[in-house]
Amino acid sequence: MNTKVLNRTNNGSNGQSTENVVITGASAGVGRATAHAFAKHGANVGLIARGTEALDAACQEVESLGGSAVAISADVANSEQVENAAAQFEARFGPINIWVNNAMTTVFSPFREITAEEFKRATEVTYLGTVYGTMCALRRMIPRNQGIIVQVGSALAYRSIPLQSPYCGAKHAIRGFTDSVRSELIHDGSKVHITMVQLPALNTPQFSWCRTRLPRHPQPVPPIFQPEVAAEAIVWAAHHRRREVNVGASTDKAIWANKFAPGTLDWYLARNGYDAQQTSEPVDPNRRDNLFEPVPGDPGTHGIFDGAASEHSAQAWGTTHRGWIGIATGLLASAAVAMIVTRRM
């Protein structure tokens, strides 16, 4: 696939210092919601994905929300296309401050039914796409000694589930890769920061366009959150030097449960993990998927599970406001102590 810049851009020249943000997988779901969130802060946003129709629509949305945008059609599984996309963005807006690795694809299927070619492709997009994006960002950020890289992860980076071996394997690999690179940056005394945001089940279009061999339509395992919940956490992570950010109580539970009872979870998921990932509706025999080529049209930001998805996460709010929570807790504790002392006097 040839990399190209779409025509729908604006100049972003408002005389103010703005952030330059690149997001992979920006045409739908979490990537698109994240582009919206950065746009509300007036950022210059580079949108990287394959599907030009969806990219063009996302670009219009960024501009309508107050940001500036350049949409670049590129396949993140191709390192040269990623590098060309970054170069085109910087030629347009200048140095990249924040790079968000979000692009993914997968196959919903028992492992034994996945072909080698399919597994390779899912891994190249989801894992190597993150590697290539990180390489590209560090090539620019390290000489400047500044910048933030956000890896979009998942609870499945810690606790794998059946029927998603390509995705789970890639997210585990991203976590291991990121830990290694982070240690190298610390060793070198670099001010470049790399973080990973671990997400819960989300209502994104992937369940309608990823390849599947399941008899029934794929679905995220409840509880389900809207992609805006993830986007807010990603933007927050890009401005705070946290090593990792977990989003949703379900993510915390999965990570901690796997730490203390992984064998029990193996058996639980073997029994319940198949039905939990499928609706009652059969898969459309004419369903198209985006594993090797983008699906035509514009899927938007949300998937088909709006009715079951929450727009807020108390856990995510607590994670991103824990400093204030600590202060409030300290003040309440001090007030309680003062009341006790006063009563005894």
pLDDT one-digit tens code per residue, 67-116: 999 999 999 999 999 999 999 999 999 999 999 999 999 999 999 999 99
Give the residue ranges of DSSP H helices in 8-97: 29-39, 52-64, 79-93
What is the 3 state secondary structure string of 114-146?
A: CCHHHHHHHHHHHHHHHHHHHHHHHHHHHHHCC
Nearest C-alpha neighbor of 157 from the set 176, 135, 183: 176
CA gap 97, 221 in Å, rounded? 34
Catalytic site positions: 167
**Is residue 322 over pLDDT 70?**
no
CATH class of the domain at 4-312: alpha beta
Predicted pLDDT at 30: 98
Q: What pTM was computed for the model?
A: 0.90
Higher pLDDT, 324 or 106: 106
Per-residue model confidence as pLDDT tens digits over 170-201: 999 999 999 999 999 999 999 999 999 999 99
Indicate the burial class of 173 (C-beta count within 10 angstroms; 0-12, 13-18, 19 or more): middle
- What DSSP state is assigned to residue 34? H
Report angle CA 270, 155, 213 to the nearest 5 degrees. Answer: 50
For strands 224-225 and 201-202, give the pairing.
Answer: parallel
CA atoms 238, 242, 243, 245: torsion sign? negative
List all residues 6 or more positions away from 85 whose beta carbon is below 8 Å from its beta carbon.
Answer: 3, 22, 46, 48, 72, 74
